[in-house]
């Protein structure tokens, strides 16, 4: 299932390698987030890239434009397929990320990664967002950030399943929507608040689905990935 990106949110390279080896060929790529990257650095990212895997480096850069530009350039040198920043960092920061990816790709004669922006984390409820000082309704805030990311020249955004439709209406048809918060009936919600099924998210217009615990915590991760794909008619 090409749209499915599995989050390798584990502590060790051995665990991550075992999961990747069991899932390779059944999924569209792997997400490396702050847990695995902080514990082990870029070595496993480079290993997956060398194997030809699509790697989504999910470190959610959010800093001054110059610092984010340097981080995105470094990610580009790693050969990742996708990297993200926080849209809340603003227009100038996102433009710097885009420029850094493109310039580093030219310098290294490589393809630039997709650069996408996180809108509002799926763990946020309306009350939680308000406590950060943002009074807008979540859908309105997500729409505003998605349009800002598009203006900055980014390739897409990360958004919950509940905001896919409004982003599809507001942004260019080629704008990618990467959707976490995928849960099936009976799955524990955990710390996720805004969720949907995989089939529902794809039907709404998601470009890629990021799934972690429902697959990697399963007794048989590959069977779980296959079952999710079958639920989507894949």
The whole-number pLDDT of residue 9 equals 97
The whole-number pLDDT of residue 193 equals 53
Residue carrying the six token digits 């194997």: 51
- Whole-prediction pTM: 0.93
What does pLDDT average to in each consecutive run of 10 residues of the chain (234 residues)?
Answer: 96 98 96 98 98 98 98 98 98 98 97 98 93 96 98 97 95 96 59 70 95 94 94 86
Structural domains of the chain in order of their starting residue, each with its CATH number: 4-231 (3.20.20.70)
Of 175, 177, 174, 172, the residue nearest 203 (C-alpha): 177
Return all residues near 144 (Cβ < 8 A) that are at least 6 apart: 136
Residues annotated as catalytic are 60
Rounded Cα distance between 35 and 11, Å, is: 7
Rounded Cα distance between 181 and 217, Å, is: 15
Contact 205, 184 (CB under 8 A): no
In this structure, the strands spanning 55-61 and 208-211 are unpaired
């Amino acid at each position: 299932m090409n749209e499915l990106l599995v989050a390798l949110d584990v502590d060790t390279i051995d665990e991550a390698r075992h999961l990747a080896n069991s899932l390779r060929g059944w999924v569209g790529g792997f997400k490396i987030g702050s847990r695995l990257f902080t514990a082990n650095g870029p070595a496993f990212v480079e290993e997956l890239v060398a194997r030809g895997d699509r790697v989504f480096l999910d470190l959610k850069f959010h800093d001054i434009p110059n610092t984010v530009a340097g981080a995105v350039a470094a990610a580009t040198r790693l050969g990742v397929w996708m990297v993200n920043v926080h849209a809340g960092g603003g227009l100038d920061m996102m433009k710097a990320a885009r420029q850094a990816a493109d310039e580093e790709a030219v310098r290294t004669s490589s393809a630039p990664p997709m650069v996408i922006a996180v809108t509002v984390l799926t763990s946020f409820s309306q009350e939680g967002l308000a406590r950060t000082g943002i009074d807008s309704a979540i859908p309105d805030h997500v729409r505003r950030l998605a349009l800002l990311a598009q203006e900055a020249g980014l390739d897409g955004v990360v958004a919950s399943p509940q905001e896919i439709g409004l982003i599809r209406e507001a942004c260019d048809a080629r704008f990618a929507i990467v959707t976490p918060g995928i849960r099936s009936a009976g799955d524990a919600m955990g710390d996720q608040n805004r969720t949907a099924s995989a089939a529902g998210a794809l039907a709404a217009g998601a470009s890629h689905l990021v799934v972690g615990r429902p697959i990697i915590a399963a007794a048989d991760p590959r069977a779980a990935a296959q079952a999710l794909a079958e639920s989507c008619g894949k």
